[in-house]
Chain A
Amino acid sequence: MRDQGAGSPVIEARGLELTFQTSDGPVHALKNVNLLIGKGEFVSFIGPSGCGKTTFLRAIAALEHPTAGVLTVNGMTPEEARKSRAYGYVFQAAGLYPWRTIAGNIRLPLEIMGFSRDEQERRVRDVLQLVDLEGFGKKYPWQLSGGMQQRASIARALAFDAEILLMDEPFGALDEIVRDRLNEELLKLWNRTGKTIGFVTHSIPEAVYLSTKIVVMSPRPGRITDVIDSPLPKERPLDIRDSREFIEIAHRVREGLRAGHSYDE
């Protein structure tokens, strides 16, 4: 099993621990997590709820603070990386501002980061094209379907061109047909932009279809049980899901989940 990614490490975790203090006592959200993510990799985190996959992604984004161990993003602490705006984050819900148009929503991070007016317009146009939403810039979020709203939120995360894209179950609330199409588009987008993507999911086919590396996690305490480097080619049509390799990887993911007692309940 290779631990080293394709390029130089962008995200590195060594002996990472994160414990929440609750009224019922400490909860070990992450225990002894070791992981290297290389530049340009597409890494999925999969596991049942409570396995710490979202917590890990939030720790990378400096939205949670590890209690022990080392975590670096672009060679910096997550806090420094956040301040240098090293990543774009896509949440489970699109979370677009209802009082801003789609273009206005995408402009939000650009305004905060102080891009010039012309640059804002140019970037909004570019990312709208990238997520296939040309002509929708002047619409308000409620005029768009759920899938289109989520695409707009991805455009918002891409607008300031951060090297890393962190996605927390971005398609979890969408139906399977829309989800398949967005998965396909996301792969194309990743191919075109060469970004490093961290992707949290609880769907095995989604994880296998998208990833170059699949991180299988288990709960109580949240930990990594398996890291699978996918042998699938970079070009992945949807029907690759019927291939033997795909089914073998999916099987191995399931085995990893079982080994972590993820199916016990």
Chain B
Amino acid sequence: MKSVLPILTVVAVIVALWYAAAVWMNAQWVYDQAARADTEVTLAEVIPQTLAQERPVLPAPHQVAAELWKSVVGQKVTSKRSLIYHGWITLSATLLGFAIGTGLGILLAVGIIHNRAMDLSVMPWAIASQTIPILAIAPMIIVVMNSVGLSGLLPKAVISAYLSFFPVVVGMVKGLRSPDAMQLDLLRTYNASRGETFWKLRLPASMPYLFASLKVGVAASLVGAIVGELPTGAVAGLGARLLSGSYYGQTVQIWAALFAAAIAAAALVGIIGAIQRVTLRRMGMAR
């Protein structure tokens, strides 16, 4: 628990800076209002007003917290105003996309390890795929899949998989190649087959690499799912909340949705971290 104090210190500093920034950025509006009403405002009057605007340039932390609370706890989960409702829609696309991306990534890595043609050809394409801006390709995926009758969850999951397969490929190729020449020679002296080498040596040796990749991949999945919700016209999901918030200048709503996304990402990474600890301990690799 020694780490609590430094963490709280950093959080306190960030919150303080945030409040200062909110006062500074929202003050102009207060002064403009006062000028229009032909009144004078003192600094003492300005500060409370900057922190309680309905559409501030930068909402204050307590406004975001209140909005989060209201839209998470204060609504029925089936309500369109509930962040739980929107969060779940995004999360389900994230998880499906993450599963597809991870499966695809592992398959590609296995292919790259065992097939020379794939070794030489797949990686450049995988790297190229990640240099294309996701914002450019997401609408096309939605449109193309919609034209063949696929809409809703799957297109979003595909975009999410598109982002998450890459770290898994890179990590798994490295992990599956991590056994050194001596360990491979040892299996050669047993006349072990490729399959036995894979299951008994390469796969277990790659586990620490896999989990590191999964953590990056799941966060990328969430980004993919949110981006996938933007071109569909803001129906449902955290992306939709972000989009409708920006349509109507609801900055507090945008920030609340952003925090909901960040909390979801942190939770997902945390869950994978927990699975990692349990798995590695059961494998005897954690000390």
A98 to B206, CA, bound (A): 12
Nearest-neighbour CB distance to chain B for A79, whole angstroms, equals: 10
A93 shortest CB reach to chain B, Å: 6
Contacts of B190 in A (CB 8 A): 85, 108-109, 112-113
- Is the CB of A83 closer than 8 A to any CB of chain B? yes
Contact across chains for A99 and B189 when beta carbons are under 8 A apart? no
B207-231 CB contact bits vs A (8 Å, 1 = yes)?
Answer: 1000000000000000000000000
The CA-CA distance from A182 to B51 in the complex, in Å, is 76
Where chain A touches its partner, the secondary structure class is loop
Which residue in A82, A85, A92, A100 is a CB contact (below 8 Å) of B284? A100
Task: Flag whether B273 is at the interface (Cβ < 8 A).
Answer: no
> Looking at B190, B192, B285, which has the most chain A CB atoms within 10 Å of its CB?
B190
Rounded to whole Å, the gap between the CB of A160 and the closest CB of chain B is 8
Task: For A89, give the chain B residue with the smallest CB separation.
Answer: B189
| Main SS class of interface, B | helix
Against B, the Cβ 8 Å flags (1 = close, 0 = not) of A59-99 are 00111000000000000000000110101110111010111
B204 on the A face (CB < 8 A): yes
Choose one: A82, A95, A100, A113; the contact of B186 (CB below 8 Å). Answer: A95
- Asked if A91 and B284 make an inter-chain contact with CB atoms under 8 angstroms apart, the answer reads no
Question: A82 → chain B, closest Cβ, in Å?
Answer: 6
Bin chain B's interface residue count.
20 to 34
Q: Which residue of B lies closest to A99 (CB)?
A: B283
Q: Please tell me if B194 contacts chain A, counting CB pairs below 8 Å.
A: no
A111 at the interface (CB under 8 A from B): yes
Min CB gap B197→A, angstroms: 9
- Inter-chain contacts of B205 with A (CB < 8 A): 97, 99
- Number of A residues whose C-beta is below 8 Å from B? 25
Q: Is the CB of B204 within 8 A of A97?
A: yes
In the complex, whether A246 has a CB less than 8 A from a CB of chain B is: no
Are A98's CB and B285's CB within 8 A? yes
Question: Do residues A101 and B284 form an inter-chain contact, with CB atoms below 8 A?
Answer: yes
A101 cross-chain contacts in B, Cβ below 8 A: 284
Give Cα A92–Cα B183 distance, bound, in whole angstroms: 11
C-alpha spacing A108/B196, complex, angstroms: 10
In the complex, are the beta carbons of B188 and A82 less than 8 A apart? yes
A136 sits at the interface (CB 8 A)? no
Contact bitstring A134-150, B, C-beta under 8 A = 1, else 0: 00000010100000000
Which B243-287 residues have C-beta < 8 A from chain A?
A: 283-285, 287
Take A99-B284, A101-B284, A142-B287 as given contacts and tell me if A89 and B186 are in contact as well, using a CB distance cutoff of 8 Å.
Answer: yes
Residues of B close to A87: CB separation below 8 A = 189
Within 8 Å CB of A95, what residues of B?
A: 182-183, 186
Contact A91 B185 (CB under 8 A): yes
How far is it, in angstroms, between the C-alpha of A95 and the C-alpha of B285 when the chains are bound?
A: 14
- Whether, in the assembled complex, B123 has its beta carbon less than 8 Å from a beta carbon of chain A, the answer is no
Which 9 A-B pairs rank lowest in CB-CB distance, beginning with the nearest?
A99-B283, A140-B284, A89-B189, A112-B190, A109-B190, A99-B204, A112-B192, A83-B191, A91-B182
Chain A positions within 8 Å of B, measured between CB atoms, are 61-63, 82-83, 85, 87-89, 91-93, 95, 97-101, 108-109, 111-113, 140, 142
